[in-house]
Amino acid sequence: MPTDAALLAEVPFFSLLDEQERADLATQLDIVHFPAGHTMWKAGDPGGELFVIRSGEAEVYFKNDTGERIVLETARIGDFVGELSLLDKGTRTASVVVTEDLEALRVDRNDLQILFRHHPDAALDVLAAMARRLRHTAELLRHTATRNVNEEVEDKRTVVEKAADWIAEFSGSILFLTINSLIFLFWIVVNSALIPSLSAFDPYPFGLLTMAVSLEAIILSIFVLLSQNRQAAKDRVRSDIEYDVNLKAELEIAHLHEKVDELNAEIIGRLDKIERRMAKG
């Protein structure tokens, strides 16, 4: 299969193999066809095969945490899909749907094992190509599913915001109430001439005390408002995180429903075939 061997040379996954290794691999591959609109697999399906596209196109996509359909790439002639499941026998990490009638070379683990048995060094070449692919994917898809509201807000506070939080917290404590009560009591006692040895500096009706209390109330209210605004921002972040978590849970449930519906349809289809065969028999 000289054409297929040349096609493998253009595939990054097999580009580091030498000509003989690619030629040996090409002789073991199967050719498959998929019509436009066919879903080759969905995320979460069992895998184990890689497909190298000879003609046509296929769209690789997944749904993010908000349910939005994210297209990772549109695979065309010379591209490949399904490499992760081929190597680790795990489930598919993305969905693939055919957008144009597709012809591809199917590579399974047995094909690679035969290649590695005859050319052990080819394993390192495949791993190197896989590492390059993973590095590229990691750069494209840096995403975390959860956030800590304290990490989102606390570390971003300015000095003024930290001071406002401390003052707002302290002004709502019993200690602050006690200190203010003692000061006001001492002020009133001294300026009411109840202690002869101390001269009054703010006689009744305590105009200076009234002004000091008013200024204290104004300043404290500003700090409390600053703290409340920051707390409101923190609550918004918390609400966003809770929304993300709830939405992710909803999407997981919807995904499970979709899987159950597919299994139900498949079982009904198989039962219908069995009934028809029994009726004919």
pLDDT at 16: 63
pTM above 0.85, yes or no: no
**Are the beta carbons of 13 and 67 closer than 8 angstroms?**
no
Q: What element of type H or E holds 1?
A: none
How far is Cα 195 from Cα 198, in angstroms, rounded to an integer? 6
| Domain final position from 140, 172, 193 | 140
Q: What residue numbers bound the domain in which 31 lies?
A: 2-140
Strands (E), the chain: 30-34, 39-41, 49-63, 69-75, 80-81, 95-108
Return averaged pLDDT per consecutive 10 residues of the chain, 281 residues in all: 64 69 77 90 84 88 73 82 78 88 85 74 69 66 53 66 83 88 88 79 83 88 84 79 77 77 81 82 65
Residue 265 lies in a domain: yes
The residue among 90, 87, 94 whose CA lies nearest residue 73 is 94
Predicted confidence at residue 144, as pLDDT, reads 47
133 plus 173 within the same structural domain: no
Residue 84 counted as domain residue: yes
Dihedral pair phi/psi, residue 41, rounded to 5°: -170, 165
Residues 34 and 97 in one domain: yes
Determine whether 212 is exposed, middle or buried from the number of CB atoms within 10 Å of its CB (0-12, 13-18, 19+): middle
Tokens found for residue 135: 């590095």
Domain match, 155 and 122 both: no
CATH code of the domain in which 70 resides: 2.60.120.10
Let me know if residue 237 belongs to a domain. Answer: yes
Would residue 42 count as lying in a domain? yes
One domain, residues 248 and 226: yes
Report the number of distinct structural domains present in the chain: 2
pLDDT value, residue 140 = 58
**Residue 71 and residue 154 in one domain:** no
pLDDT of residue 35: 92
